[in-house]
Amino acid sequence: MINPNDPGLKSWVAVAAHSDFPIQNLPFGIFRPQHQTPRAGVAIGDHVLDLHYLEGQGYFRNLNLPSGVFDRSRLNDFFALGKKTIRAVREQVSLLLRHDNSTLQAENIRKQVLHAMHDVEMLLPVRVPNYTDFYSSEEHATNVGSMFRDPKNALLPNWKYLPVGYHGRASSIVVSGTPVRRPRGQVKTDSEFPMFMSTHKLDFEVEMAFITCGETKLGHPIHTHEAEDHIAGFALFNDWSARDIQQWEYVPLGPFLGKNFASTLSPWIVTLDALEPFRVDGPEQNPHVLPYLAFEGKKNFDVVIETLLQPEGAEAVVVSRTNAKYLYWNVNQQLAHHTVNGCNIEVGDVYASGTISGPSPGSFGSLLELSWNGQKKLHMTDDTTRTFLLDGDTVTLHAYASRDGVRIGFGACSGKILPSL
Amino acid sequence: MINPNDPGLKSWVAVAAHSDFPIQNLPFGIFRPQHQTPRAGVAIGDHVLDLHYLEGQGYFRNLNLPSGVFDRSRLNDFFALGKKTIRAVREQVSLLLRHDNSTLQAENIRKQVLHAMHDVEMLLPVRVPNYTDFYSSEEHATNVGSMFRDPKNALLPNWKYLPVGYHGRASSIVVSGTPVRRPRGQVKTDSEFPMFMSTHKLDFEVEMAFITCGETKLGHPIHTHEAEDHIAGFALFNDWSARDIQQWEYVPLGPFLGKNFASTLSPWIVTLDALEPFRVDGPEQNPHVLPYLAFEGKKNFDVVIETLLQPEGAEAVVVSRTNAKYLYWNVNQQLAHHTVNGCNIEVGDVYASGTISGPSPGSFGSLLELSWNGQKKLHMTDDTTRTFLLDGDTVTLHAYASRDGVRIGFGACSGKILPSL
């Protein structure tokens, strides 16, 4: 029996002790080797395994993959093959990378199939046909409601009955490492009229996103028990936000220009399979959910997420340490709710969790909450302080699940703030 | 000089007096002839001109189009060539269709290049990477605000300062003729808890949508004076809405499942060039807009839009007659606002106007307004009444601009309501 999650597995590729990418992980991404075209790869230690090369050499022949399916600049065509095929490829890669498998270890093959990570460029892993952002952290929704409405009735009446979500902008989702230009827009301060200016309240939002590997027909809902068949895996997601622009525009139709200037996705899609050992129960749901949102089993994941804020030329500070397990609504419920009216999904869709905040102040997932809308200053290593982001700041999310000496990491989700044009 | 809008132009293809598609129109679409693959075409009278055939035969040789650009199931690759190329193709088609041009009139060519409309299937004209819905009709926003908030302060504070908009769902945009399944979802009535049910308040929304023919880089705004360079043309758009689902879910992040079960787009994209003779001034904008929203010239279009409601097995009734000229915010302002924060656009994006209502009750663009949220009954030809849509009802939008004996029509934007699963 193949168990690619076995903590005892070792690879012949050297993997450092605290690497995000041991043989138990094997996430998928798109990379461009120097002087070559973009292609699909799998992260292993400090290297990227070239799936296009492997497929061309016949190493996946038993899986009957379409020829050239990894010779693409996005993973969509691969993911369209469905969950079983994605799983089979990960299992095959696991076999090929095991310490006792010599198939790829000969120097001439090894040179072709393994690329040092620092020599390749990581690209956006999927073309994103649709992007939805949920609002599934009770602590985050409570914090926002306390700040802007009434601390005693911080959660709106619908919040515990349905996973609130809204449609975001797909075109401005960028891969980790892409700089983010400080947006300009209308801001209404104490003056009588709104003014056009660069945002003064630029923020990050710590989120996890799941990426779909199936498509459904319009009119056909996905049930909670089958939702995971449509989910390839997770990536980290930073939903940059301009709080002052958002504040003026968002009533009644929701956030728009305060969000759609950029969202950053991490390049590696960590499979649901790799996260299997890290399932935990989510928060108790009270009141009981409607039948279409009911589910069985452990649907949350114990994934620590750390956020680092690095001023230009200074050391980074960890400003937030939270966990995906805090999410009130799970991904099965999110997908079931999203499609219960017949809305269809497509391959490569990105569904983000919404800001993940935990119960303690150090676990809040945005500067809005960490600085309590500017009232509290965060101290940086260069003796400056922050309430919101300054030009030159770099925000980096890291995440990992860890147990039995195995660490399933997500790689970095990072972006640096450039001044307005 | 070529003027494809000249009212005196006639085609050798027979065009009925009240046809939507005289030689002055020449809109683009995607059609599938019987037993053939989808391809791009131009509407002329009751026929579709086969652009793929023309290109293959070298009739566009002088334009240096990429080979096979019309041999596609969507117009995106063609639109990606940009406004000048789209214009040049329309002008070339205009020349080929003029009554005194014999190039295509030989029976053997004519049989290949012209398809009877009733013999072909019309497909969704573009793959839609992003869809945004604005809220640009003052009368509509005022009606909604009066119904659900305060008639004396019907417009929210931001409404006259920026073209309010939100992101919609791209995956569920369907072409005219596609049936629409009545959605189910959470509804909160007078009971203590929300219930899961089929919507009781299924509605249409009369909108125009513009489709983009260019892409921009993230971080680079589009100015009002250059916005039209990125717009290929317009189509009709019905943003079906479930008012009861929407009412329970939409605070604070905007409409979601109340909208994303389906939106219907008409199959023909009427070019901005064809609408050139129908430019009019829009409503006076007071207060003055911020400089980035300022514009020069006539940016509204005098386009009549009629909505027909047809109960199953009965005659249709015109329930609304409105006009695109009523829109407070024009497309140049919408695109400038959308991108002023750096948000990028892609080829084939759909930007809808929001419901277009005029000043009189008969010109309201939704049943919500026409029935004043269910208080007023609309009479059908079969002696039934409507406040919202019933199963079996068909809603069809028609639109046209008309002057000097020329009628630039949009074709039908139609959908029939199927019962919930």
Q: Pick the closest to residue B257 from B267, B245, B269 (CA basis).
A: B245
Write down the pTM of the prediction: 0.98
3-class SS of residue A8 = coil
What pLDDT does B149 receive? 86
Distance between CA atoms of residues A91 and A42, nearest Å: 12
Residue A34, pLDDT score = 94
pLDDT (mean) for B345-367: 97
Is it the case that residue A342 has pLDDT exceeding 70?
Answer: yes
Burial class (CB in 10 A: 0-12, 13-18, 19+), B43: buried
Nearest to B341 among A135, A170, A261 (CB): A261
Res. B190 pLDDT band, cuts 50 70 90: confident
**What are the φ and ψ backbone dihedral angles of B60, each rounded to 5 degrees?**
-110, 20
| Annotated catalytic residue within B115, B140, B230, B338 | B140
CB B410 within 8 A of CB B399: yes
Average pLDDT rounded to a whole number, residues A277-292: 98
pLDDT at B1: 58
CB-CB contact of A221 with A342 (8 Å): yes
What distance in Å separates the CA atoms of residue B270 and residue B409, rounded to the nearest whole number? Answer: 8
Residue B392, SS3 per DSSP: coil
Q: Which residues of A are catalytic?
A: 140
CA distance A388 to A204: 9
Size of interface A-B (CB pairs under 8 A): 190
Q: What CA–CA distance (Å, rounded) separates B74 from A33?
A: 32
Q: Is A181 near chain B, with CB under 8 Å?
A: yes
> Considering only alpha carbons, which residue of chain B is nearest residue A183?
B341
| Chain B residues touching A168 at Cβ < 8 A | 167
Instruction: With a cut of 80, say whether residue A311 has pLDDT above it.
Output: yes
Given a cut of 90, is residue B2 above it in pLDDT?
no
Residue A2 banded pLDDT, cuts 50, 70, 90: confident
Which of these, B165, B164, B168, B166, lies nearest to B131 by C-alpha position?
Answer: B168
DSSP for A233-249, please give it: EEEEEE--EEHHHHHHH
Residues from chain B that touch A129, judged by Cβ atoms under 8 A, are 129, 170-171
Q: Across residues A159-180, what is the average pLDDT?
A: 98
Mean local confidence (pLDDT), A78-88: 98
pLDDT above 70 covers a percentage of chain A that reads 100
The DSSP line for B47-66 is: EEEEHHHHHHTTTTGGGTPP
Give the rounded percent of residues in chain B with a pLDDT score beyond 90. 97
In tens, the pLDDT along B230-285 reads: 999 999 999 999 999 999 999 999 999 999 999 999 999 999 999 999 999 999 99
Name residue A47's beta-bridge partners.
A44, A116
A residues 347-386 closer than 8 Å to B (CB): 349
B140 annotated active-site? yes
Other beta carbons within 10 Å of B245: 31
Burial of residue A157, with CB atoms counted within 10 A of its CB: 0-12 exposed, 13-18 middle, 19 or more buried: exposed
Report in angstroms the alpha-carbon separations of B48 from A128, B25, B259, B373: 33, 13, 32, 41
Q: How far is CA B370 from CA A88, B182, B248, B352, B357, in A?
A: 56, 20, 21, 21, 10
Q: Is A163 on the interface with B (CB under 8 A)?
A: no
Q: DSSP assignment of B315-329, as one string?
A: --EEEEEEEGGG-SS
Q: What is the CA radius of gyration of chain A?
A: 21
With CB atoms and an 8 Å threshold, state whether B242 touches A341: yes
Note the pLDDT of residue A190. Answer: 87
Other beta carbons within 10 angstroms of residue A312's beta carbon come to 13
Cis omega (within 30 of 0) on the bond before B287?
yes
Residue to mutate among A76, A256, A329, with most B CBs inside 10 A, is A256
What ipTM goes with this model?
Answer: 0.97
- Beta carbons within 8 Å of A415's beta carbon, 6+ residues apart: A174, A176, A177, A178, A179, A180, A238, A240, A262, A264, A394, A395
Tell me the average pLDDT across B91-101: 97
Instruction: Give the torsion through C-alpha atoms of B99, B104, B110, B114, to 10 deg.
Output: -80
Please count the CA atoms within 13 angstroms of the CA of A97 that sit on its side-chain side: 31
pLDDT tens-digit series, residues A215-240: 999 999 999 999 999 999 999 999 99
Mean pLDDT, chain A, rounded, equals 97
Which of B224, B250, B253 to mutate to probe the A interface, most A CBs <10 Å?
B253
pLDDT in tens, A45-63: 999 999 999 999 999 999 9
Q: Which residue of B has its CA nearest to A419?
A: B219
**Of the partner residues B165, B260, B337, the one whose CB lies closest to the CB of residue A343:** B260
How far apart CA B95 and CA B11 sit, in angstroms, is 9
Domains and their CATH numbers in chain B: 3-123 (2.30.30.230), 131-418 (3.90.850.10)
- From first CA to last CA, the distance across chain B in angstroms is 57
pLDDT band of A1, cuts 50, 70, 90: low
What single DSSP character describes residue A55? Answer: H
Asked if A256 is an interface residue toward chain B (Cβ–Cβ < 8 A), one would say yes
Distance from CA of A194 to the nearest CA of B (A): 8
CA gap A31, A50 in Å, rounded:
9
Angstrom distance (rounded) from CA B233 to CA B223: 18
Give chain B positions within 8 Å (CB) of A164.
Answer: 249, 252-253, 256
Q: Which of A162, A174, A253 sits opposite B135 (nearest CB)?
A: A253
| Chain B residues closer than 8 Å to A161 by CB | 186, 193-194
Record: contact B181-A344, CB cut-off 8 A: no
